[in-house]
Amino acid sequence: MATVPAAQQALRILQHLSHQAAPVPASSIARDLRLPRSTTYHLLDTLVGAGFVTHLADQRRYGLGLAAYELGTGYSRQAPLQRLARLPLSALVDRTGHTGHLAVLHGPEVVYVLEERARGRAPLITDVGVRLPAHLTASGRAILAALPAAQVRALFADPEAFVQRHGAGPTSLSALRPVLAAGRRRGWADEDGTVTPGFASVGVAVLDHNDYPVASVALTFASVEVPEAARAALAEQVTRTARTIASRLGGHRG
């Protein structure tokens, strides 16, 4: 596939600026990206003219401009995560015969953003838009297990965050930690009866290019249908789907 060097360099500058905590001098951009200074200034002038970069003349620094913000909000409006995940999730449901869903973390809760109901299966609580306590769900536990420990502590700093549904599940951070550690060792999270009695789930995080969990994929099934010994094989199917979604997002494939 043919490439345009100037376009690649401009995109590298935008990506570099997106990773900075504050605007930076052109000289540091040139140094970090190993670009000639003259080329860097020409590219920055072009990006400033298009609104993607702003020039703070009094500080002699460059940062992202309003057009970059509009680009990001446009990405959000188009719901790319749901669009890119729908086909892999549907294929997972067809292969396994169990209902699948995609969830994202919002504070100490998960929000379900996509559900594919298996044929002949009854509706579940995990409909689109539903929020559930992250520490009770396989979807939430998969995401929490992939987060830094400090972030998990911050999410559950208030004991009231440990909401119960049916008197089951961790009620403190010290009780949650071994649950997350077990899922981390296996590579997948689970729950059995903590969300809905008689139903269990297995979930796997979808990781971006920085190995950060942007979402999770899970399957839910009647506990009696899938004995514990068979759930690892089901979790492998979920893992394959999570990796497929991650690769479609340009994220982690490993």
List pLDDT tens digits, range 12-67: 999 999 888 889 999 999 999 999 999 999 999 999 999 999 999 999 999 999 88
**3-state secondary structure (DSSP) of residue 171:** coil
For domain 5-74, is the CATH number 1.10.10.10? yes
Q: Tell whether the model's pLDDT for residue 75 goes beyond 80.
A: no
Residue-averaged pLDDT of the chain: 90
Task: Specify the domain boundaries for CATH 3.30.450.40 within the chain.
Answer: 79-248
Give the residue, 167 or 146, on which the prediction is more confident.
146
Contact 201, 124 (CB under 8 A): no
Average pLDDT over every residue of 95-100 = 96
From the number of C-beta atoms within 10 Å of its C-beta (0-12, 13-18, 19+), residue 51 rates as middle
Q: Tell whether the model's pLDDT for residue 193 goes beyond 90.
A: yes
Token pair in block for residue 230? 């068979």
Question: Whose structure tokens read 């940062």?
Answer: 63
**How much is the pLDDT for 127?**
81
**How much is the pLDDT for 135?**
96
- Superfamily of domain 79-248 in CATH is GAF domain (3.30.450.40)
* Contacts of residue 19, Cβ cutoff 8 Å, sequence gap at least 6: none
Task: Specify the domain boundaries for CATH 1.10.10.10 within the chain.
Answer: 5-74
